[in-house]
Amino acid sequence: MDSFRTLMDSYSQRVFALVVRIVDNEADAEEITQDVFLKVYKNLARFDGRSMFSSWLYRIAYNESISHTRKGRREVAVEESLLRAVSDSTVDALLDSGDARLAALPEALDRLGAEERAIITLYYMEGLPMKEVADIMRISESNAKVRLMRTRKKLYVLITQITKRYE
């Protein structure tokens, strides 16, 4: 039991940091973090060591956060045609620069769905390689890349819409 407390001591803040960015609510994030460790405790014997322990832990945190947000969370849908009209280079030019329009980025992040926020957080915030992100989300690496690119495009469209509204 003491060793589990030590494990929780080392990982709880990291799990919370991921969860709070997905669910965007401190109290909910704390409750989900508790649920994550409860699940880890129950299933510790099933951890086969094929992936890294942190990946396994993040996968549980990701699943818990997604199932929690499915219960009721606003997600702004963006028309498929708008996403298709944006080229990768246009998105890169905005998101990887110091453009003034990036002031709208926090609001745009707010409007993303939980899965989109999760992939962005895992890749940009946690700095995980794409292979590990894919492993956590239980999708193929190429699918993860497509989803990341799609989320970046959606961010671009949302930033453009928000900026236009304020002009």
Site residues for other proteins per CB under 8 A: 1, 4-5, 8-9, 12-13, 16-17, 20-21, 24, 26, 29-30, 33-34, 37-38, 41-42, 95-98, 102, 105-106, 109, 120-121, 123-125, 127, 155
Query: Cβ closer to other proteins: 97 or 142?
Result: 97
Q: How far is the CB of 133 from other proteins (least distance, A)?
A: 11
> Which residue in 141, 160, 147 sits closest to 95, CA to CA?
160
Q: How far is the CB of 152 from other proteins (least distance, A)?
A: 8
Cβ(152)–Cβ(109) under 8 Å? no
Query: Cβ closer to other proteins: 50 or 158?
Result: 158
Residues in contact with 3: Cβ distance below 8 Å, sequence separation at least 6, in sequence order: none
Locate tokens 């589990």: which residue? Answer: 4
Cβ(45)–Cβ(28) under 8 Å? no
> Which residue in 145, 155, 166, 151 sits closest to 94, CA to CA?
155
Q: How far is the CB of 128 from other proteins (least distance, A)?
A: 8
Q: How far is the CB of 129 from other proteins (least distance, A)?
A: 10
